[in-house]
Amino acid sequence: MNRQLAHLSDEALVALAARSEQSALAELYDRYGRTAYGLALRVVRDQALAEDAVQEAFLTIWRTASRFVPERGKASTWILTLVHRRAVDTVRREQRRRADSLDRAEEPAVEGVEEDAWLRLQRERVQAALRRLPDAQREALELAYYGGFSQSELAERLGQPLGTIKSRMFTGLSSLREQLGEPGTEISWTSTT
């Protein structure tokens, strides 16, 4: 590819992109596409989702280049920050999608109306107790139990130390036991750390 704009600074390329110069955006992509993909992949842990996040980020760069202020920081930092934000948005969107699909999942048939009502009541009690937990504890428990993530996967996905995830889950489960008021009822967690 002919790189006519290769001699320009990143900031100059962003300024040209703000004036709808497609070749400027292409040059920025040539410079940062690989790094952006690597960053997105570390966040989302899925090649297709990482590609989507990078594409969305460069579309955002194209649309918002006029808002870039060089005095506030380097263009490369701005670009990679946008990529990181799109990757985090992608992870959140996927988590919501998984949670929504779990909510819509068909419940197994239960023998007897009384047992079905009792199970529904128990589920509502647990969900209400989960909502009363601090966000970090609730997130860890929901991703583990509803999302099927191991503690190690959660630590990696949330960018937290494994010990922090274990602590959040232990504290959250203890709080759930107290809230549900059923001493001796064990909620267990099997970990593949």
- pLDDT tens-digit readout, 76-120: 999 999 999 999 999 998 888 888 776 666 555 546 677 777 777
Integer Cα distance of 29 and 55 in angstroms = 10
Which residue matches tokens 């649309």? 63
Domain assignments of the chain as residue spans, ordered by start: 10-97, 113-180
Name residues whose C-beta falls within 8 Å of residue 43's C-beta, 6 or more positions apart in sequence. 50, 53, 84, 87, 88, 90, 91
* CATH code assigned to 113-180: 1.10.10.10
**What's the one-letter identity of residue 9?**
S
Integer Cα distance of 167 and 161 in angstroms = 10
Beta carbons within 10 angstroms of residue 186's beta carbon: 7
Q: Selecting from 1.10.150.20, 1.10.1740.10, 1.20.1070.10, 3.30.9.80, what CATH number does the domain 10-97 have? A: 1.10.1740.10
Tens of pLDDT along the chain (193 residues) come to 457 899 999 999 999 999 999 999 999 999 999 999 999 999 999 999 999 999 999 999 999 999 999 998 899 999 999 999 999 999 998 888 888 776 666 555 546 677 777 777 887 888 888 888 898 888 888 777 776 778 888 888 888 898 998 888 889 888 888 888 754 444 444 444 4
Integer Cα distance of 155 and 193 in angstroms = 10
